[in-house]
């Protein structure tokens, strides 16, 4: 499967289009750096013995980190390279299963909605239904990521 896609401007997105990211393996360094960056040193992430005694059986990635991996994997697809104007948020997000150190995660996205904006002529709204899975297809993130995406004419004015 090819993972390299050309950047898309707002006009090029169609509802129903699908894309898949390459994988990325979650490392212990990633978890430590997330803890250091955010100050979240919860022992489910940082204490092997504590985590092993809990329901998950081993250390897990932070929930916020799992979301960030999903967002990063969306960006790694390439379709929003130099065309993503702003990430606007989500109406819904779930983390149905934990992501573990050593898991390799990738995302599948589907264009759920494109919307012209009467108040803006430089961008349009694109909503991506996003699902991130591990190497064994366990779902660890689902959400509707919303972006302002540059129109072709606006992007050319920035070049």
Place 36 in a pLDDT band, splitting at 50, 70 and 90. very high
Predicted local distance difference test score (pLDDT) of residue 154: 84
Q: Is residue 1 part of a domain?
A: no
What values do phi and psi take at 11, rounded to 5? -65, -20
Report d(CA 79, CA 108) in Å as an integer: 13
| Residue 3 domain-assigned (yes or no) | no
Q: What is the pTM (predicted TM-score) of this model?
A: 0.92
Residue 47's CB is within 10 A of a number of other CB atoms, namely 14
Say what the pLDDT of residue 3 is: 60
CB 80 within 8 A of CB 17: no
Residue 4 domain flag: no
- Indicate the pLDDT class of residue 155, thresholds 50, 70 and 90: confident
Q: What is the pLDDT of residue 159?
A: 64
The pLDDT value given to residue 54 = 94
Per-residue pLDDT for 91 more than 70?
Answer: yes
Q: How far is CA 113 from the centre of its chain?
A: 17
Structural domain includes residue 70: yes
Whether 1 shows a pLDDT value over 90: the answer reads: no
Q: Domain residues for 14?
A: 10-158
Cα–Cα distance, 100 to 107 (Å, whole number) = 16
Residue 18: per-residue pLDDT: 96
Task: Let me know if residue 50 belongs to a domain.
Answer: yes
**With 60 as the cut, is the pLDDT of residue 2 above it?**
no
In a domain, 148, yes or no: yes
What's the whole-number average pLDDT of the chain? 94
Task: Domain count for the chain, please give it.
Answer: 1
Q: Domain holding 33: CATH number?
A: 3.10.129.10
Res. 156 pLDDT band, cuts 50 70 90: confident
| 5 within some domain | no
Banded pLDDT at 62 (limits 50, 70, 90): very high
- Give the tens place of pLDDT for each residue, 95-123: 999 999 999 999 999 999 999 999 999 99
Q: Is residue 18 part of a domain?
A: yes
Higher-pLDDT residue of 2 and 9 is: 9
Higher-pLDDT residue of 57 and 1 is 57
């Amino acid at each position: 499967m090819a993972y390299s896609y050309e950047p898309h401007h707002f006009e090029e997105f169609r509802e129903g289009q699908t894309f898949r990211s390459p994988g990325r393996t979650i490392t212990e360094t990633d978890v430590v750096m997330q803890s250091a960056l955010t100050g979240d040193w919860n022992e489910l992430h940082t204490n092997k013995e504590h985590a092993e005694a809990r329901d998950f059986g081993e250390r897990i990635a932070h929930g916020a980190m799992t979301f960030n991996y999903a967002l990063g994997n969306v960006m790694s697809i390439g379709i929003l390279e130099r065309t993503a104007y702003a990430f606007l948020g989500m109406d819904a997000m779930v983390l149905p299963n934990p992501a573990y150190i050593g898991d390799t995660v990738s995302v599948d996205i589907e264009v759920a909605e494109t919307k012209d904006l009467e108040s803006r002529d430089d961008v349009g709204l694109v909503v991506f239904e996003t699902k991130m899975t591990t190497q064994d297809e366990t779902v660890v993130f689902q959400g509707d990521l919303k972006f302002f995406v540059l129109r072709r004419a606006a992007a050319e004015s920035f070049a």
